[in-house]
Amino acid sequence: MLRFALVGLSAAVRSAPAPRITLLTSVPGLVLALLVSAGLPAAPALADNGKDIVGWVENVRLFPGNVEVKAKLDTGAKMSSLSCNCLRPFERDGEQWIGFQIETKNGKLASFERKIVGHIKIKRHFGRVQRRPVVELGICLGNVYKVTRVNLVDRSGFRYNMLIGRDDMQGHFVVDPGETFQAKPRCKGDLKVE
């Protein structure tokens, strides 16, 4: 998909010759057109407030492990949640930990062991309250890396393994509900989770 620019629109309004359609000829415009036509995502667009515009579904990277998963950006959820199976609580050095596996974007299983930093009660849409363990993970969405608290739940009946809640989007992103996969995870630097 190439983008076109209308040149001379004001002249057309004044009964001048019809506007001509030309390709973007600037170097950045040409680079953008080549990236889009090759199917490669360009850098995320910026909203008027300087925040990245992202789609309602994006690929994110989780740390530790540098594991990529598809995530639904859910402005209706306060906290992020991650679908996992094999929830296996255990004790390490007198602290509560949990072992779990997640399915990556490519359908492979990745194993994690994380310290439990708390529990959260979530009221489900059918009225039942669910108690979920909470762990800290690093999440990379676009160029933004954030260490955050994520609750763990079996979301096997859902389409996306991860929900990114508004606590983790606030101050960084604007969600375009008509778009998907606008912000490839490109975080650089020290991507540690303590």
User: Could you read off the pLDDT of 90-130 as tens digits, one per residue?
Assistant: 999 999 999 999 989 998 999 999 999 999 998 877 778 98
Measured CA to CA, the distance from residue 12 to residue 26 in angstroms comes to 23
- Residue 152: CB atoms within 10 A of its CB come to 23
Domain that holds residue 11: 4-37
Q: 153-175 burial, b if ≥16 CB within 10 A, otherwise e?
A: bebeeeebbbbbbbebbeeebbb
**CATH code where residue 114 lies:** 2.40.70.10
Q: What is the pTM of this model?
A: 0.73
Residues linked to residue 133 through DSSP beta bridges, in sequence order? 119
Token pair 């990277």: residue: 61
Residues 29 and 104 in one domain: no
On whether both 33 and 57 belong to a single domain, the answer is no
pLDDT in tens, the chain (194 residues): 333 333 333 333 334 444 343 333 333 433 333 333 344 445 667 777 889 999 999 999 999 999 999 999 999 999 999 998 878 999 999 999 999 999 899 989 999 999 999 999 988 777 789 899 999 999 999 999 999 999 999 867 778 999 999 999 999 999 999 999 999 999 987 787 76
Residues 136 and 91 in one domain: yes
- pLDDT value of position 2: 34
Q: Are 23 and 98 found together in one domain?
A: no
The confidence score (pLDDT) of residue 43 equals 61
Inside any domain, residue 194: no
The whole-number pLDDT of residue 192 equals: 75
Cβ-proximal residues to 37 (8 Å cutoff; 6+ apart), any chain: 1, 2
d(CA 173, CA 43): 13
3-state secondary structure of 159: coil
One domain for residues 19 and 78: no
Question: What are residue 55's DSSP bridge partners?
Answer: 176
Asked if 84 and 10 sit in the same domain, the reply is: no
Examine residue 63 and state whether it is found in any structural domain, yes or no: yes
Domain count, the chain: 2
Same domain, 85 and 28: no
Instruction: Check whether residue 28 and residue 63 sit in a common domain.
Output: no
**What is the residue-averaged pLDDT of the chain?**
79
117 in any annotated domain: yes
